[in-house]
Structure formats: structure tokens, C-alpha cells
Structure 1
Amino acid sequence: MKIPVLSSFMFDEPSIWITVATLLSTVYLGFAEVIGSHLQYSKFANSSQGIKLSSRAGMLILYTPALLAGIVSFFVFPGDGLRFLLLKSAVTFHFFKRDLEVLFVHKYSGNMGVGSTILISIFYFYVATSMIVVYYMSLGLPEPSIDLTYIGLIIFIAGIIGNFYHHNLLSKLRANKEKEYKIPRGGLFNLVICPHYLFEILIFYGFAFISQTPLAFACAIGDSCYLIARSHQTRNWYVSKFEDFPTSIKCLIPYVF
């Protein structure tokens, strides 16, 4: 199905219902955050409810299935051009990086709910798989007249670097035995409370620009909605916990929100 206004930037849509369902489901997760129905991880994990996993084990479960999907895609869908190679490589590298951070960068202060862990893991696996499969389904269709592949690659690299840098800053807030939360400092933390979310959004828009499929843009928009809502709730949490929290620090976008 062709979307006339966007046809210069996107492939034809092989399955509009998959794209619509993806967008609505991810937007719903953002709405759930706004109304206080948080996914149970990080500072919003409720230690008194449900079955729990250690944060390290839970985080590995979040990202590893998506990483494996990316690795398998090189064998299931070999070749088929530079754009497809860049998409598969970007998806695989992102989740490989996340697993490395889980193992060697992050410090943990709590547990994760099993239900939220499974839900997020399925979402990431679905995103990784669907972006690759839908692009494969688009092969042979007319290419968009405006090629955004290399712009997407630049956005993706900027997102990866910025996301890793700020995750590394977060890890240095605590000594090895410390578990209490502190107000993050350094980098864009001096301007927003969730710069790592901002750069994760860039990563997803990198995927979208590289592939130029409507589904990839739906994933990016949905991820943005969720992380915007999550960053707003995160800032509210810090304000409630720290009397000295700087009022000038925004949620996600410096000086704006």
C-alpha cells in the first residue's frame, strides 16, 4: 500500500496492519507510563509484587533474543545489497552493545519483574525481526526517490556513541557496593535527566532512515512515545526523592522538555 505523501521517503507498505498494530501497541506503553502503570524495571520496579529476577539476568533476557535474531538474519537473508547489510548490522550491533553493557558497564540496585521482562524481551525481539523481515519483503519494490541510508547511518552512530557514553556516566555514579540512587552528573545529564533515552531514540530513527520502511518509522515513533513518557516519569521520581534536584534539568530534550 503506497502512502502518497511519504512515498519519496519510504518504500511501499507491504502490510499496513502490521505497521498500525506496532505503532498503537508502543504508543499504548507510553500512555501506560503516563497514568502510572510502569514496566517493572529500574527505579520503578516494585519489590513487593510478583516474581522477580536479578537485574543483570533480566536485562540479558531483554536483549539477547533480539541479538540472536540479528545474527540469524545474516544466514537467513544473505546478500541483497548494501542497505540491507547496514540494517542487519545496525540492529545486531545495537543489541550486542546492550548485552555488553549489561555484563560489563551497568551497576544494579534492585530486581526486575518477570512479566515486564518477558514483555520487553518480546517487544525487542519483534522489533529486530520485523524491521529485517519487512525490509526483505520490500526488496524488488521501487526505491524511495530520496535515499536516507547514509543519513540514517550517521544518526545511528551518533545514537550508539551518546547512549554508551551516558550509560557509562551512570555506572560511575556508584561505588561497587553502593545501591542508592544519585542525581546523575556530566554530559547531557547537566541539562536533561534521561539523555541515554534521547540517544536511544536516535538509534531507532537511525534504523528507520537506513531501512526507509513504514514499519521501521512506526517502531521509531512508538519507541519515542514510550521513552518521552518514561523520561517524564523519571524526572518526577527524582524531584520527589531529592529536594536539591535542579529545576533547570529537563526530561529528555535540552531546554525544551
Structure 2
Amino acid sequence: MLDYIPNDQTIVTYVFPYMWLISSVLVVFLEIVLNIKATYGRYNTSGSGISARLAWFIQELPSFFVPCFLLYYHQSSLSMTKFAIIGLFLIHYFQRVFIYPMLIRGGKNSSYSTTISAFCFCCINAYAIAQEILAYHVYPKDYLFSLQFISGAIIFFIGLIFNLQADSILRNLRKDDKQRDYKIPRGGLFEYVSGANFLAESIEWTGYAICAWTLPAFAFAVFTWANIGLGRAIHHHQFYLDKFKDTYPKNRKAIIPFIL
């Protein structure tokens, strides 16, 4: 089955990661310089497309099942270290695929183009990260006890906890699916930045990149910072400033506390 998937080491290790790094520069240019917003959530002004719950489920699905398939495919050479590193990836995406969509309240539709492009990205990204770890990267036998893995895992889980907290805060701003208005989020990292959920997820994947120590994982972390850590967070910050004007907290930044 993998004969139909690009599994050459050069493609996985270098081509896909450099695609994300180049895309990161392009995303920053489009979202910050040209102020183009991805058409999902509050920026889908037409209202057409796929429901938020279904869109999140569809587009994130490959990020869970592709690594699961690769774990099965490489089971004969699987080490505890590689299983643990892939396991961190799956922890995040189990929540994103099977829990998060079901908890969404009042989410707006996602455009078809955004959902399809996100699905394709998740297919390639999950494959590159998992295949590099399982097939090509070599870890020392005691890597799970190294300072690098432990510190990366701590950063990952700190980001995950703040991400879940931020999602809960945003979700509880609305009572049910019928409520569509926006309120000022408060608590947690929202006391410091408008894009608390984006900051938390960017921290997550930074920690994961440290744990995995591969170019695909690093490139994904960079792309996350560029796409949602900068572009999406800055757009949200401006949205709140425009909507709430003088009532919005003056000391709150977009993505980096006290700085940006």
C-alpha cells in the first residue's frame, strides 16, 4: 500500500519540511502583509461551506489515522522511544478529532477550500512527521531519559494544558449552538494575549519539535507559529479591538505577552 505514497527518505526528511518552511514565509506575507484571512470561523462572511464540527473532524482526521497506520506498518522495528514520541502526537490529535469537534458551540461554517486544503496538509504533515520518526531517525537507547526529551515533553504538556483551558474558556462564552455573538474572553493566557489558544498550540508543537528532534517536526512547529501564532492571532486581536474598542483590555497583546 505504501508503494503509492512518496516514502523516499529525501522527500520525507527534506522536501516536505522545506515546503512547510517556505509556506510559513508565504503565510506570513499573505496573512500579515496582505491581511488575507483564512475563511473559517468568524472570517467566513458568506456563511457557506461545511459545519464547524464536521469540518474540524474531516480536516484533522488524517493526523490521527496516518500515524496509527504507520505504527502498525513499522511494528516489527518499533522501539519504546519512537512509540512514546508518536504517542504525544496522537494525544493531541485524539482530542482534536474525537473530542474537540463535539464540544464546539455556535461555530460558523468552514469554506470547502479551507477544509480541503487543511485535510491535504494534515495528510502530508502527519505522514512526514511519523515516517521520519519511525523509518529513518535513530535515537539513543536512553533517549527517553535525556534532558532533551523530558524538557520537550514538559513544554508539550504545558502547551496542551493551556490549549485545553483556552478552548474551554472560549466555548463557555456561549451557552448553546444558537448563540452567535462574541464576548471578551477572560482567564488563563487570555489575560495576556488575544490568541491564547494559538499561543498554547504553538508552545505544544515547539515542545514536540524538541522531543522528536527531526526536521519535519521542526518545520511543523515553525508553520504553526506562522499560521496561527502570528497571522490568526493578530487578526483576532484586531477583531477584538475593532469590536469592543475602549472596553477591550489595554494591556492585552496579540500573541506574545507584553511584546506583540
Give the shorter-chain TM-score range. Answer: 0.7 to 0.9
Count residues in correspondence: 244
Of residues 229, 232, 256, the one that matches 1:230 is: 232
Worse-superposed segment, 211-220 or 30-39 = 30-39
The residue number in structure 2 matching 1:172 is 172
CA deviation map 1:190-210 (0-9, x unaligned): 111111111101221122111
Distance across 1 between alignment mates of 2:196 and 2:28: 17
TM-score scaled by length of structure 2: 0.85
Structure 2 counterparts to residues 4-153 of structure 1, below 5 A: 15-34=13-32, 35-47=34-46, 52-78=49-75, 79-140=77-138, 148-153=148-153
Distance across 2 between alignment mates of 1:246 and 1:109: 24
Q: Secondary structure at the match of 1:196?
A: helix
Q: Which amino acid aligns with 2:243?
A: K
Q: In the superposition, relative to structure 1, how do residues 242 and 214 fare at CA in structure 2: closer, same or farther (>3 Å)? A: same
Q: CA deviation at 1:254?
A: 1.4
Q: Which amino acid aligns with 2:155?
A: I
Q: Secondary structure at the match of 1:52?
A: coil
Q: CA deviation at 1:105?
A: 2.4
Distance across 2 between alignment mates of 1:40 and 1:182: 20
Q: Secondary structure at the match of 2:169?
A: helix
Runs of at least 4 residues of structure 1 off by over 4 A? 140-143
Q: Secondary structure at the match of 2:194?
A: coil
Distance across 1 between alignment mates of 2:102 and 2:185: 19
The residue number in structure 2 matching 1:248 is 251
Distance across 1 between alignment mates of 2:96 and 2:12: 30
8 Å CA contact 1:109, 1:180 repeated in 2: no
Distance across 1 between alignment mates of 2:90 and 2:24: 21
| Percent identity (aligned) | 24
Q: In the superposition, relative to structure 1, how do residues 67 and 252 fare at CA in structure 2: closer, same or farther (>3 Å)? A: same
Q: CA deviation at 1:80?
A: 2.9
Worse-superposed segment, 94-103 or 234-243 = 94-103
The structure with the largest helix share of the pair is: 2
Q: CA deviation at 1:142?
A: 8.0
Q: Which amino acid aligns with 2:43?
A: F
Q: Which amino acid aligns with 2:241?
A: V
Q: Secondary structure at the match of 2:110?
A: strand
Distance across 2 between alignment mates of 1:101 and 1:182: 23
Q: CA deviation at 1:140?
A: 4.5
Structure 2 counterparts to residues 175-214 of structure 1, below 5 A: 175-176=175-176, 177-214=178-215
CA deviation map 1:135-189 (0-9, x unaligned): 234334889x986222211111111111001101111111113111111111111
Over the aligned positions, Cα root-mean-square deviation in angstroms equals: 2.5
Distance across 2 between alignment mates of 1:101 and 1:27: 32
8 Å CA contact 1:235, 1:250 repeated in 2: yes
TM-score scaled by length of structure 1: 0.86
Distance across 1 between alignment mates of 2:180 and 2:23: 33
